[in-house]
Structure 1
């Protein structure tokens, strides 16, 4: 295929660093409020950049566990 996912990897690394900084230790501790705070901590110059970050998070949590995904739809984050 030859596809590269550098931008997606960078977005997930941002989330990883944020989660570590917040001392989150389990997947269950990642809440919609935490994701909202993460998105708020990453100011974006354009809507396209923000939407890309949001899209990466959505796809990651859907891939991670289809049963976890609905829990993140309660707020505007995902």
Structure 2
């Protein structure tokens, strides 16, 4: 993500989880009313069947890998 870029989602199907691994930069992850900073070399898992966003609040590009797991119905 470029500096200042943000992606917001109203939420995915019930039971959805996302795994984030940051390669470069700091990921700002917002899940409902909670805010998390995920730094280079760190990872986070979030329940994303609720409103959430990810954002690059830094001045350099943010590089991260995201895996989405949607629970089978």
More helix by share: 1
Instruction: Tell me the TM-score normalised to structure 1 length.
Output: 0.28
Between Structure 1 and Structure 2, whose CA radius of gyration is higher? 1
Instruction: Tell me the TM-score normalised to structure 2 length.
Output: 0.29
Greater relative contact order (Cα < 8 A, sep 6+):
2
